[in-house]
Amino acid sequence: MLTPIKTPLVAKKMFPNYVWDIATNEKVLYLTFDDGPTPEITNWTLDTLNNYQAKATFFCIGKNIEKHPDIFKAILNEGHAIGNHTNNHLKGWKTLTSDYLANVTKAQNTIDAIIPKDFSGNTQLFRPPYGQIKPAQGKALLGQGYKIIMWDIISFDWDKNISKETCLKNVTNKATKGSIIVFHDSVKASKNMQYALPKVLEYFSEKGYVFKTLT
């Protein structure tokens, strides 16, 4: 299946219980970073966001949080939001619902053990890896209080077949007020992401946009 850069309205309407974008007339964008925490890359991402007073949301993999709890804490300390991206980056369509839910819970237990008791953000944001989630899985997670965050724009930063310039244009040409934008703080995506992110921040900041966390 070919994933479009910008999620079509028809897809958003098919799954209205999932969050695809934030309705607003203000110049706000919601950057998201999946698959970390990753040594070097996540720290670089935090520094780059900081240069533009930009906030973002990091959808972390449970096993990566276990390996790098210090980086996970740094994300929180800098005022960003965090979300659950399963414990082992599971494909929902290929996973039994009971196994999928157990894997999300495992990641959540890791998150909850680290998050400070006085943390004021939402600790139950969830993004399905690959955007793949069966209706039964989605329904169960919504029932457990999770918000399921999809996206409006995918940068395709991980795709080795696109140039870094194309990755940048995927975002600058398509993002609009309230867009949720996907990047990855992973080694695989780093070549394109580390080129595109500062330019996205520069481009939209000059146009008066601010970058906020999802809540």
- Taking the least distance from each CB to Zn ion, the nearer of 60 and 196 is 60
For 139, residues 6+ apart whose C-beta sits below 8 A from its C-beta are: none
Question: Contact with Zn ion (CB under 5 A): which of 21, 35, 152, 157?
Answer: 35
Which residue stretch of 72-80, 94-102, 109-117, 126-134 sits at the interface with Zn ion (rule: CB under 5 A)? 126-134
21 binding Zn ion? (CB under 5 A): no
Contact 150, 113 (CB under 8 A): no
Residue type, position 96, single letter: L
Which residue stretch of 6-14, 26-34, 42-50, 72-80 sits at the interface with Zn ion (rule: CB under 5 A)? 26-34
36 binding Zn ion? (CB under 5 A): no
CB of 127 to Zn ion, least distance (A): 7
CB of 143 to Zn ion, least distance (A): 23
Give which of 147, 152, 115, 143 is closest to 128, Cα–Cα: 147
CA pair distance 212, 53, nearest whole angstrom: 10
157 binding Zn ion? (CB under 5 A): no
Residue 40, Ramachandran bin (φ over 0: left; ψ between -120 and 50: alpha; else beta): left
- Taking the least distance from each CB to Zn ion, the nearer of 151 and 211 is 151
129 binding Zn ion? (CB under 5 A): yes
Which residue stretch of 30-38, 65-73, 109-117, 156-164 sits at the interface with Zn ion (rule: CB under 5 A)? 30-38
Catalytic residue IDs: 34, 184
- Taking the least distance from each CB to Zn ion, the nearer of 61 and 168 is 61
Contact 196, 171 (CB under 8 A): yes
- Taking the least distance from each CB to Zn ion, the nearer of 60 and 200 is 60
Residue type, position 74, single letter: A
The residue ranges of DSSP E strands in 46-192, in sequence order, are 56-60, 81-84, 125-126, 147-148, 153-154, 180-184
Q: Is 31 helix (H, G, I), strand (E, B) or coil?
A: strand
34 binding Zn ion? (CB under 5 A): yes
**Residue numbers at the binding site for Zn ion (CB under 5 A):** 34-35, 129
